[in-house]
Structure 1
Amino acid sequence: MFKNMINWETGKWINQPLSVRQEGNHLKVVPEKGRDFWKKTLYGFEFEDGAALLADWQTDNAVEVSFLLTSFTELYDQAGILLYQGPEQWIKAGIEINDGVPQLSAVVTDGYSDWSLTAVPEWKGEEVTIRASIMKDAVIIRARTENHGWRTIRVARFPYNSGNQAGPFTCSPTRDGLEVTFTRWVFTEADQDLHVNPLM
């Protein structure tokens, strides 16, 4: 099975975090309080200043980002994967704290953002992997942990054939001190079927 492990140094930050350091194969990132990705819907504000480490994404491959769900405690603490076409078209998907519990979260933006959530309190303390794979004009977003198998969390329109970037992101809109440990960033074989899980 094709897997291209991405070195952290390969990516470029579109917004620099407060601090970043590499420990072995892991990348520890502290986002700056008050920064996020969101566009207009409900709140009226627009943010595109969250920390995201991106590389060019050839969309005939899937992309996966893994991180430890060990430090998330406060409202809107979040990390995962950002799929980026430009300031009007992007998707962030990962784990976000809401109502006091970890939630699988996806924000799909095309001029305006929408937001979907599914509570996963049983994932607390585990290593989470978020995966995105293009099929026709859509992206299939899936998530798993080392103890819980793949689940599909979103199918969203993402019809862009070129100029795409993808990689890990983290935001901490409400507090100082969040540190996220990213463990893995890979490009791998794309999904072949919506109803067939990729290999672990």
Structure 2
Amino acid sequence: MDGQRAIDWSQAAWLNPPLEVEADAAGLLVTTRNRSDFWRTTSYGFVRDDGHALLTELPTGSAIDVTFAAQLDALYDQAGVMIRVDEQTWIKAGVEMTDGVPHLGAVVTRGQSDWSMAPVPEWAGRQVTVRASRDGDAVTIRARCEEGSWRMVRLAPLAPNAAASAGPFCCSPQREGLRVRFTRFVSGPADASLHDLQA
């Protein structure tokens, strides 16, 4: 996408720093803390806000792309992009392990969380890019595996005047020690259209 610029890892701020972070020429290797998660109430009855997210500003009219690879093994191991206004208003989208298979999905939270997903077993262990594009009163989430086609994941509301931030996230609700390598973190203009996205 034209107009994209790389975001230095050091220029973003951690919400809930992970157990370990290692930056090198290949990217950022993150190791999760025990039972880290983002969720509010729905079905499970608990509130969790201790997952790991490395966030930078996401003004209206902009987009964030995050590329990562991880061996998701335990139930609910997950990584992708977080868009956050506050503890009650946020979106996480990416790949999550459930029922023994990686799933592409999103959780949209406005007081309470929801969850949508679809299995992507062929994405296991491969490089995945998730894009959050904010324009007007909405955030559009798309994802692709390596150089494959973009898939629409979610269109979710976000107030135009909300001060939001976005960036890579990961968590491991059932264990400690999920390792995620983030290899790309870029910002750019919001997608010009809801359809016909160009690489």
Q: Shorter-chain-normalised TM-score: which range?
A: over 0.9
Cα shift at 1:162: 4.0
Asked if the contact 1:79/1:96 (under 8 Å) is kept, the reply is: yes
Task: Give the TM-score taking structure 2 as reference length.
Answer: 0.96
- AA aligned to 1:9 is S
Partners of 2:156 and 2:162 in 1: CA distance: 17
- The C-alpha deviation readout for 1:137-159, integer Å capped at 9, x for no partner, is 11110000224210101111112
- Give the unaligned 5+ runs of structure 2: none
- Give the unaligned 5+ runs of structure 1: none
Task: Give the TM-score taking structure 1 as reference length.
Answer: 0.95
Aligned length in residues:
198
- The C-alpha deviation readout for 1:132-187, integer Å capped at 9, x for no partner, is 11232111100002242101011111124242110111001112221000000110
- AA aligned to 1:88 is Q
| Corresponding residue number in structure 2 for 1:79 | 79
| Corresponding residue number in structure 2 for 1:46 | 47
Bigger mean CA deviation after superposition, 151-160 or 104-113 = 151-160
Partners of 1:161 and 1:81 in 2: CA distance: 21
Partners of 1:89 and 1:7 in 2: CA distance: 26
Partners of 1:167 and 1:28 in 2: CA distance: 15
Q: Percent identity?
A: 47
Partners of 1:55 and 1:135 in 2: CA distance: 17
- The C-alpha deviation readout for 1:6-54, integer Å capped at 9, x for no partner, is 0000111110101111121410000101110000101110011111111
Partners of 1:39 and 1:162 in 2: CA distance: 20
| Corresponding residue number in structure 1 for 2:182 | 182
Asked if the contact 2:21/2:28 (under 8 Å) is kept, the reply is: yes
Asked if the contact 2:102/2:119 (under 8 Å) is kept, the reply is: yes
Q: Indicate how the Cα distance of structure 1 residues 92 and 176 shifts in structure 2: closer, same or farther if over 3 A, else same.
A: same
Q: Which runs of 4+ in 1 moved over 3 A?
A: none
Is 1:15 aligned to 2:16, yes or no? yes
